[in-house]
Amino acid sequence: MEISTLRKGNQIRIILQGTMDEKNAVRLRDHFRSLDLADIREVELDFAGVGRVGSAGIGKLLLFYKWLANSGGNLAVVNLPDPIFNLFNELEFHTLFRVAGQEFTA
């Protein structure tokens, strides 16, 4: 899994590429831990390049949401491919943070 982070002031965008399996979920958790959440208010996770999310990835995502919320920040997960978007809706993640599917472009 490739993880890229772009920062603008107190906002960051994390771009993910690959599969969020057990091994990559640990890499993602380590990446989250490396962020200084004290001055971050908005985090956007871009899932456009994610093909699959396993239970370990879901667990790390919820853990990150908790860390971020405890420091006063907000999370959004965007550009979700349809199968992952549907899964996140079934899990009712939209009640915790913003969940958005892929934007249609003509």
Supply the pTM of this predicted model. Answer: 0.90
How far apart are the C-alpha atoms of 45 and 75, rounded to whole Å?
Answer: 8
Q: Is residue 20 scored above 50 in pLDDT?
A: yes
pLDDT over 70 percentage in the chain: 96
pLDDT band at 102 (very low <50, low <70, confident <90, very high): confident
On whether residue 106 sits in a domain, the answer given is: no
Q: 35-79: per-residue pLDDT in tens?
A: 888 889 999 999 999 999 999 999 999 999 999 999 899 999 999
CATH of the domain at 47: 3.30.750.24
On whether residue 71 sits in a domain, the answer given is: yes
Predicted local distance difference test score (pLDDT) of residue 36: 84
Q: Note down the domain range covering 64.
A: 2-101
User: What domain count does the chain have?
Assistant: 1
